[in-house]
């Protein structure tokens, strides 16, 4: 029965930000600062730390700016305490400032709170607390949590911090991952979660809390996932038996002890989250693409065809699929556009691709045979998660293609394909983009094979061609000089146009997104054939136009568009296949790719546009890994 999903959608709001907490035998500060540095992808307009000393005093150090500025500031303090919480912020309520930076304290500085999320009813709570005599210092929503806990401690909770936190969360509307410390509990940390991610772990020497497992890299591989509505008490007591000294107890929202918290293991390569000699993470992540793809392709072809066991879907269910919705945001949305063409061409299943932020407010046609595929590097993008929940509620099966193990997307989906690209730290997505495209190729081949639309021989041929892609990317990486040479075309420009047709239109869109996000140069992508319906008016002498025109079925058509812009004075930078004399004559700069099947060219060609964006951003003096206003994980709708 066809069901139309109405415009009813629960709001899944959360602000970005990253939090970490520690209590244990060692000094807390090194972990807190390292953890914040790792979580800086979640936001970096201000940062702060609260340290709890034996002497029953909380020291709060916070500032506007990056974690590095906080680390500098911390050097001025005697920072030996072994319990602390810390925060890196992406402002939603209250401008970025020293005062609005977390942690936030109660009226008397007896407790300190960090928070990732949004308290939607904070104004109402603040008015109530102010009327009761509480004194607020910041304009944030978070500060109400500190005062609400303080108020509860005085009243119903009678000094019991867990109960006070439990009562506070029962009054709050919105989303949160919270960590709290209190002066009279020098070896304890209290946390709560609803809607924003929070993971916990213990080692022999301490108990840890973090927004994301990456902050625990090199510390442990066994992690507790705090579930929505749960709270936890983390403690360290040197007098307990060995192995028991650090302890985590998890509670439901009603205070009942959770006997078996949800746990998972992570297969770490700790070095993956360091720069390893590269000038920036983006450079490193661009270079890692061949390896990431090889890893993903390992053992994917068996005698039975493409192995995609993760899909957990029967041949009968595949045969019955009537439509696929692919939902994603930003760069991951571009992967969806490529995936659509592959699935429709090879498996002949109709595919709709939607940007999650739009999809969530549209009516969608879902039957019990509809498959929803969400693509998300971080697995935490609020809009994408909301789409998955909407599709689930409408009865569709949800498959997540994601990079982050144990992410919300992975946990909520019915099936997960991990793209195994390793931690992606730079805000601009590169290796996750190409790995997600490769995962989409595998999905398309798998569906084509299982629906009988592609014979085993052809599947095998296409897989073998796919296995050559990492080598071809390696070849493109050696041609970075071509991208560097093209940089002068952009340094004084106000804007740039990216054109392409078919797969090339998506590569152009991704190239434009990369350029604008890291170089702050306006860039617009347009299907090349559409250009004459408007954007051609932009072209003037020296206007940079990047044309994606590899040797594919639309090459001749795209060459006409190159001629059109050239005739109007544009500086033309063309992504073309080796030895294309015609294009060489027409272009001012060439970004050359080795010959490859046209359905794999988007995976290879985009590497040039990633490098081009990086060189232009470097020439314009921009911060490559942390572009202004952006955060890696967009957990706000
Ligand atoms: C651009 C970029 C963003 C993300 C988007 C979705 O380089 O990284 O456009 O692609 O925010 O993020 P994920 O894939 O984590 O859902």
| pLDDT per position as a tens digit, 13-64 | 334 689 999 999 999 999 999 999 888 877 778 999 999 987 778 999 999 9
Please tell me the number of Cα atoms within 13 Å of 264 on its side-chain side: 17
Answer with the residue of higher pLDDT: 7 or 194: 194
Mean predicted confidence (pLDDT) in 498-510: 98
Residue 2, pLDDT > 60, answer no
* Sequential DSSP letters for 328-368: E-HHHHHHHHHHHHHIIIII---EEEEEHHHHTTS-EEE-T
Mean predicted confidence (pLDDT) in 491-503: 94
Answer with the residue of higher pLDDT: 1 or 511: 511
Confidence of residue 620 (pLDDT cuts 50, 70, 90): very high
Query: In this predicted structure, what is the pLDDT of residue 10?
Result: 30
Are 111 and 57 within 8 A, CB to CB? no
CA of 633 to the centre of ligand 1 (A): 7
Cβ–ligand 1 contact at 341 (below 6 Å): no
CA of 580 to the centre of ligand 1 (A): 33
Are 28 and 189 within 8 A, CB to CB? no
Residue 218, pLDDT > 90, answer no
CA of 56 to the centre of ligand 1 (A): 43
Residue 178, pLDDT > 50, answer yes
List b or e across 95-109, with b for residues whose CB sees 16 or more CB atoms inside 10 angstroms. ebbeebbbbbbbbee
Answer with the residue of higher pLDDT: 191 or 637: 191
Q: Which element (helix H / strand E) includes 119?
A: strand 111-119
Q: Is 632 an active-site residue? A: yes
CA of 354 to the centre of ligand 1 (A): 14
Mean predicted confidence (pLDDT) in 136-162: 95
Query: In this predicted structure, what is the pLDDT of residue 633?
Result: 67
Confidence of residue 340 (pLDDT cuts 50, 70, 90): very high
Site to substitute for ligand 1 among 43, 331, 425, 437, most atoms within 8 A of C-beta: 331
For atom 3 of ligand 1, which residue has the closest CA? Answer: 330
Residue 219: strand, helix, or coil: coil
Domain annotation for the chain: domains and CATH numbers: 18-273 (3.60.20.10), 281-467 (3.40.50.10490), 478-619 (3.40.50.10490)
Kindly name the residue from 17, 329, 549, 622 that is annotated as catalytic. 17
| pLDDT single digits (tens) 449-491 | 999 999 999 999 999 999 999 999 999 999 999 999 999 999 8
For tokens 């924003």, name the residue. Answer: 196
Cβ–ligand 1 contact at 329 (below 6 Å): yes
CA of 329 to the centre of ligand 1 (A): 6
Residue 531, pLDDT > 70, answer yes
For tokens 């998300």, name the residue. Answer: 376
Kindly name the residue from 182, 450, 514, 632 that is annotated as catalytic. 632
Query: In this predicted structure, what is the pLDDT of residue 414?
Result: 95
Cβ–ligand 1 contact at 381 (below 6 Å): yes
CA of 428 to the centre of ligand 1 (A): 7
Q: What number of helices (H) and strands (E) belong to the chain?
A: 21, 28
Site to substitute for ligand 1 among 14, 41, 332, 428, most atoms within 8 A of C-beta: 332
Q: Is 17 an active-site residue? A: yes
* Sequential DSSP letters for 518-587: HH--EEEEEEGGGGGGTGGGG--TT-EEEEEE-SSTTHHHHHHHHHHHHHTTPEEEEEEETT-HHHHHH-
Q: In the predicted model, what is the mean pLDDT of the chain?
A: 91
Residue 415: strand, helix, or coil: strand
Confidence of residue 224 (pLDDT cuts 50, 70, 90): very high
| pLDDT single digits (tens) 252-301 | 999 999 999 999 887 666 556 667 678 899 999 999 999 999 999 999 99
| pLDDT single digits (tens) 113-133 | 999 988 999 999 999 999 999
User: Which of 25, 10, 9, 77 has its CA nearest to residue 48?
Assistant: 77
Residue 354, pLDDT > 90, answer yes
Residue 507, pLDDT > 60, answer yes
Residue 47: strand, helix, or coil: strand
Closest atom, ligand 1, to C-alpha of 430: 7
Cβ–ligand 1 contact at 610 (below 6 Å): no
Cβ–ligand 1 contact at 429 (below 6 Å): yes
> pTM, whole model, 2 decimals?
0.73
Cβ–ligand 1 contact at 376 (below 6 Å): yes
Say if strands 370-376 and 397-402 run parallel, antiparallel, or are unpaired. parallel
Residue 457 token pair? 């021989």
Question: Rounded CA gap, 583 and 589, in Å?
Answer: 10
For atom 9 of ligand 1, which residue has the closest CA? Answer: 330
Site to substitute for ligand 1 among 214, 326, 329, 401, most atoms within 8 A of C-beta: 329
Answer with the residue of higher pLDDT: 204 or 10: 204
User: Which of 140, 168, 159, 314 has its CA nearest to residue 253?
Assistant: 168
CA of 328 to the centre of ligand 1 (A): 8
- Percent of the chain at pLDDT > 70 equals 95
Site to substitute for ligand 1 among 339, 360, 374, 381, most atoms within 8 A of C-beta: 381
For atom 5 of ligand 1, which residue has the closest CA? Answer: 330
Number of residues that this document lists for the chain: 637
Cβ–ligand 1 contact at 330 (below 6 Å): yes
| pLDDT single digits (tens) 580-611 | 999 999 999 999 999 999 999 999 999 999 99
Query: In this predicted structure, what is the pLDDT of residue 155?
Result: 93
Residue 9, pLDDT > 60, answer no
């Amino acid at each position: 029965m066809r069901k139309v999903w109405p415009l009813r959608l629960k709001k899944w709001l959360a602000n970005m930000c990253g939090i970490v907490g520690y209590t244990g035998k060692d000094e807390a500060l090194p972990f807190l600062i390292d953890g914040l540095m790792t979580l800086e992808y979640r936001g970096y307009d201000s940062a702060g730390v609260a340290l709890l000393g034996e002497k029953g005093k909380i020291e709060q150090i916070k500032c506007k700016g990056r974690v590095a500025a906080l680390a500098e500031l911390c050097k001025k303090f005697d920072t030996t305490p072994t319990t602390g919480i810390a925060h890196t912020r992406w402002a939603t309520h209250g401008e970025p400032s020293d005062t609005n930076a977390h942690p936030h304290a109660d009226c008397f500085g007896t407790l300190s709170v960090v928070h990732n999320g949004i308290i939607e009813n904070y104004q109402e709570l603040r008015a109530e607390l102010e009327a009761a005599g509480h004194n607020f210092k910041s304009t944030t929503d978070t500060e109400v949590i500190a005062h609400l806990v303080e108020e509860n401690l005085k009243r119903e909770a009678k000094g019991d911090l867990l109960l006070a936190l439990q009562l506070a969360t029962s009054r709050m509307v919105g989303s949160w991952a919270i960590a709290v410390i209190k002066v009279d509990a020098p070896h304890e940390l209290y946390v709560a979660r609803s809607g924003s991610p929070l993971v916990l772990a213990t080692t022999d020497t301490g108990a840890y809390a973090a927004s994301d497992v990456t902050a625990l890299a090199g510390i442990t591989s066994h992690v507790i996932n705090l579930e929505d509505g749960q709270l936890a008490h983390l403690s360290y007591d040197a007098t307990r038996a060995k192995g028991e000294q650090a302890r985590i107890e998890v509670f439901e929202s009603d205070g009942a002890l959770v006997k078996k918290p949800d746990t998972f293991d992570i297969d770490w390569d700790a070095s993956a989250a360091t720069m390893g000699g590269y000038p920036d993470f983006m450079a490193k992540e661009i270079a890692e693409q061949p390896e990431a793809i090889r890893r993903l392709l390992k053992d994917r072809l068996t005698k039975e065809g493409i192995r995609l066991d993760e899909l957990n879907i029967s041949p009968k269910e595949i045969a019955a699929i009537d439509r696929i919705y692919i939902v994603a945001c930003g760069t991951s949305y571009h992967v969806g556009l490529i995936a659509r063409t592959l699935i429709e061409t090879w498996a002949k299943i109709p595919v709709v691709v939607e940007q999650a932020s739009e999809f969530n407010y549209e009516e969608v046609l879902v039957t019990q045979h509809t498959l929803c595929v969400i693509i998300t590097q971080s697995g935490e993008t609020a809009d994408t998660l909301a789409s998955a929940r909407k599709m689930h509620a409408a009865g569709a099966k949800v498959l997540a293609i994601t990079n982050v193990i144990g992410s919300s997307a992975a946990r909520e989906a019915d099936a997960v394909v991990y793209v195994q690209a390793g931690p992606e730290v730079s805000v601009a997505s590169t290796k996750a983009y190409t790995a997600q495209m490769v995962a989409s190729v595998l999905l398309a081949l798998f569906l084509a094979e299982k629906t009988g639309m592609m014979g085993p021989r052809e599947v095998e041929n296409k897989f073998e061609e796919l296995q050559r892609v990492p080598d071809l990317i390696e070849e493109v990486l050696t041609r970075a000089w071509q991208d560097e040479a093209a940089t002068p075309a952009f340094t004084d420009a106000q804007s740039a146009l990216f054109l392409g047709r078919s797969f090339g239109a998506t590569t152009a869109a991704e190239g434009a997104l990369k350029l604008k996000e890291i170089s702050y140069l306006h860039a617009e992508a347009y299907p090349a054939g559409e250009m004459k319906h408007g954007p051609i008016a932009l072209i003037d002498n020296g206007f940079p136009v990047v044309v994606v025109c590899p040797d594919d079925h639309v090459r001749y058509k795209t060459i006409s568009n190159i001629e059109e812009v050239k005739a109007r004075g544009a500086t033309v930078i063309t992504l073309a296949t080796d030895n294309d004399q015609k294009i060489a004559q027409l272009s001012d700069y060439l970004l050359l790719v080795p010959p490859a099947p046209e359905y794999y060219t988007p995976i290879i060609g985009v590497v040039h546009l990633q490098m081009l964006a990086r060189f232009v951003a470097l020439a314009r003096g921009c911060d490559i890994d942390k572009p202004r206003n952006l955060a890696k994980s967009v957990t706000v709708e």
